Amino acid sequence: MKNGKTIVIISVVAAALGVAPMVISSFTDKKIEEYKAMLANNGFKQEITKKEGYFVTKRDFTLEVVDASKAMNFLLGKVVEKNKQYDALVKVIKEEIKPDDVNVAFNGLKFRGQMEHSNLLPADRKASLIWDRLPSSVTDEDTKKIMNPLLARGVFAFDIAFDASHAIKQVAARDIKEKIAVDEENTIDINTVGHKLDLSVGSDVTKGRLEFGKQFLQASSKDPYEGNVSSDLEKMVYNFSVKDDFNGEGDLTLGKYSFVAGDGDEQTFFGLNGAKASSKVQDKNDKVQMVVDYFFDGLTFSDSMEKFGLQALNVKIGIDGLTTSRLKKIQQAYNGVVMQTGSNMSAEQQKALEGDVVGLINDGMKLTLNVGLKGLTSPMTAIKDGIVDATFEIPKNSFNKGQGPFALLSLLDASAKIKIHKEDRATLEAFGLLPKRYFELGVAKDEYVAYDLVMKQGKLTLNGQPVQ
């Protein structure tokens, strides 16, 4: 009896597992038809050209732009849905770009690809998107001769992963390694590796990672007078986490980069050994706190006449105390009026904007600036190193717009600790930016000369001595 029940249970489970893929596949077909209708209403034509697989279904499809103006409005609408801040910008784009121009530029553009999903187990959905055809407006035979073979081989393609809720998890560009003959004398080399974007979209925070493994582009000519142009990036990684305009953080890392243009006799070169940048902004108790930090390693620029170099540069900026609610109002006024082409700000709008700007000043704010420079070389001078640590602060005040800029200046409390290498003092004196007597106020500390610059209530002092 037990064996009979077991057989029945197994049979039911097996039947369910056998039927489930058909049910899920049918459900997916229905959703695809809904998407197809939605796309058709917004300038796209989608066709399923092939379907295969039972437990795992693969669908080949094509996607063509048939009304680029509708497609543009649809995509711009999606941007505004994600962030209302871009509403005014989107309106400007729609006003400035004529529908006929968009249609001429993009109608006929076609992609092909494949969708893949499991009909049995919960798993990521996958899709590929391959650029398949040029827009109809491209009639130049030379262009088609270059591009069509590349499109036929699927050179420009993306692989996309979706989670169970259809949200994009990853977009990865397929690696490209091509040597394209433009004509008998000119070629273009493209070598890209590891270009991808990872996304995690939460209820209120979007996190992501953008990565370029390698990116090399070069235009070469056999003509000695034409020269070559090349751009070579070793690696780039950008991590970010964003909640809204006033809450988010990110960090960027660049590997070696070089840009070269010219021929063997006259070349322009820009090089960078590496760079890092980070930023963080948060809204705390209606106050914006923001920190940005930049570091550049081994900057070099040269041409046939001059050469500039910088061993290292670090810049850190901090902002604290700006009232978030007032900033939002100013931002809204800017987006709603200034960015709208041909519109003028009304007297009421101008008064409200001025009130928010003055209110922002009245609430006070603080800015910190830290700059470190090392190994600056140029044809005219050389600087070993220097450090600046500065603070600028406006305390709470009763300033009004009728007082003028000098009253605003009197509110500013500023201080700066400046250290320059002792060997650089004579160099800076020679520029004549400041009278020699001010340089003489410096205090020797080890290998450096130190200066304390203070401004309070409109009065400026350097190492305790008044400065005119």
> What is the mean predicted confidence (pLDDT) over 104-121?
87
The whole-model pTM stands at 0.85
- pLDDT tier at 107, thresholds 50, 70, 90: very high
Structure tokens at 452: 């304390």
Interval 135-155: pLDDT, tens: 999 999 989 999 999 999 999
117 has pLDDT over 80? no
Interval 304-324: pLDDT, tens: 888 999 999 999 999 999 999
Interval 186-240: pLDDT, tens: 999 999 999 999 999 887 888 999 999 999 999 998 887 778 899 999 999 999 9
In this prediction, residue 418 carries a pLDDT of: 93
178 has pLDDT over 90? yes
> What is the mean predicted confidence (pLDDT) over 258-269?
86
Interval 354-400: pLDDT, tens: 888 889 999 999 999 999 999 999 888 888 999 999 999 999 999 88
- Rounded to an integer, what distance in angstroms lies between the CA atom of residue 188 and that of residue 176? 12
Q: Which residues pair with 214 in a beta bridge?
A: 193
- Rounded to an integer, what distance in angstroms lies between the CA atom of residue 271 and that of residue 108? 41
Length of the chain equals 468
Q: Closest Cα to residue 194, out of 177, 218, 219?
A: 177
- Are the beta carbons of 206 and 199 closer than 8 angstroms? yes
Q: How far is CA 356 from CA 55, 323, 372, 386, in A?
A: 61, 10, 35, 38
Interval 11-20: pLDDT, tens: 444 444 445 5
If DSSP codes are grouped into helix, strand and coil, which group holds residue 107? coil
- Are the beta carbons of 290 and 271 closer than 8 angstroms? no
State the angle between helix axes of 99-106 and 68-82 in degrees (0 to 180), rounded to the nearest 10: 110
